[in-house]
Chain A
Amino acid sequence: MAGNSILKHREAVLAALVVVLALGTSLINPNFLTLENITDLLKANTVSGIFSLGVLMVIVSGGFDVSFTAIAQVTQYAIVLLMLERTEGNIYLAILAAVFFGIVLGLINGAIIHYYNMPAIIVTIATQSLYYGIMYVVTRGRQINDIPSFFWSFSNAKVVEFTSPAGGTYGLSLITALWFILAVILYVFLRHSKLGRSIYAVGGSRISAERIGFNLAHTTLFVYAAMGALAGLAGVVHVSIVQSVIPSSIVGSELQVIAAVVLGGASVTGGKGTVLGAFLGVLLLAILSNSLTLLRISSYYSNVFTGLIILISVTANAIQVQRQRRQRVRVQIDKA
Chain B
Amino acid sequence: MNFINAKNISKDFGGVHALKGVYFTVRQGEIMGLVGQNGCGKSTLIKTLAGVWRPDGGTLEIAGQKVENPSPFIAIKLGVSVIYQDLSLFPNLSVLENICLGPIIGDNSLLSRISLYRGKAMEILARLGIDINPDDLVEDLPIAKQQLVAIARALANDSRLLILDEPTTALTRREIIQLFSLLSNLKKGGISFVFISHKLGEILEICDRVTVMRDGSIIGTEEAASLNISQIEGMMLGHALALQKKTAFRSGKEVVLSVEHLSKKNHFLDVSFALHAGEVLGLSGLLGSGRTELASAIFGISPADSGKILIRGKEVRIASVGNAIHYGIAYVPEDRLTQGLVMPHSISNNIVIATLEQYLGRLALLSFQKIGLTVKNWISKLDIKTDDARKAASTLSGGNQQKIVIAKWLAMNPAVLIMDGPTVGIDVGAKRAIYDTIQTNAAQGMAVIVISDDIPELLANCDRILIMHGGRLTVEMPTSEADEESLQRSMEIRSGA
Contacts and interface: CB of A to CB of B under 8 A. Distances in A.
A332 B290 CA distance: 9
B267 A1 contact: no
Given A3-B135, A197-B112, A204-B90, A212 B266 contact: no
A304 interface: no
B88 A208 contact: yes
A201 B97 CA distance: 10
B91 A204 contact: yes
Contact of A213 (B105, B110, B268, B469): B105
A24 B110 CA distance: 45
A331 B289 contact: yes
Interface centre among A204, A212, A271 (most CB of B within 10 A): A212
A2 B94 contact: yes
Contacts of B472: 333-334, 336
A328 interface: yes
A197 B91 CA distance: 13
Given A201-B93, A334-B494, A324 B140 contact: yes
A195 interface: yes
Contact of A331 (B97, B102, B293): B293
B288 A212 contact: no
A59 to B, nearest CB: 13
A331 B268 contact: yes
A1 B94 contact: yes
B180 interface: no
A222 B471 CA distance: 51
Interface in B83-98: 84, 86, 88-94, 97
A331 B105 contact: no
Interface stretch (B70-78, B230-238, B402-410, B411-419): B70-78
Contact of B137 (A2, A207, A332, A336): A2
B142 A328 contact: yes
Interface residues of A, number: 36
Interface in B290-313: 290, 292-293, 302
B132 to A, nearest CB: 13
B112 A194 contact: yes
B140 A212 contact: no
Interface string A300-326: 000000000000000000000000101
A193 interface: yes
Contacts of A204: 90-93
B470 interface: yes
A334 B293 CA distance: 15
A133 to B, nearest CB: 31
A193 B470 contact: no
Given A198-B105, A332-B471, A213 B293 contact: no
B73 A213 contact: yes
B414 to A, nearest CB: 24
Nearest to A336: B496
Q: Which of A1, A196, A329, A331 has the most CB of B within 10 A?
A: A331
B154 to A, nearest CB: 10
Q: Report which residue of A193, A197, A336 has the largest number of chain B beta carbons within 10 angstroms of its beta carbon.
A: A197
A152 interface: no
B464 to A, nearest CB: 22
Nearest to B138: A204
B248 interface: no
A192 B111 contact: yes
A203 B52 CA distance: 20
Contacts of B97: 1-2, 197
A164 interface: no
Contacts of B104: 194, 197
B76 A212 contact: yes
A161 interface: no
A195 B76 CA distance: 19
A194 B84 CA distance: 24
Contacts of B266: 330-331, 333
Contact of B93 (A2, A214, A331): A2
A205 interface: yes
B110 A194 contact: yes
B139 interface: yes
Contacts of B142: 328
Interface of B: 50, 52, 71-73, 76, 82, 84, 86, 88-94, 97, 101-102, 104-105, 109-112, 114, 135-137, 139-140, 142, 266-269, 288-290, 292-293, 302, 469-472, 494-496
19 contacts: A2-B137, A3-B136, A194-B105, A194-B112, A197-B97, A197-B112, A201-B90, A201-B93, A205-B88, A212-B105, A213-B72, A330-B266, A331-B266, A331-B267, A331-B290, A332-B470, A333-B290, A333-B470, A334-B494
Q: List the 6 closest A-B pairs by CB distance, nearest first.
A: A334-B470, A271-B92, A213-B73, A204-B92, A208-B88, A333-B471
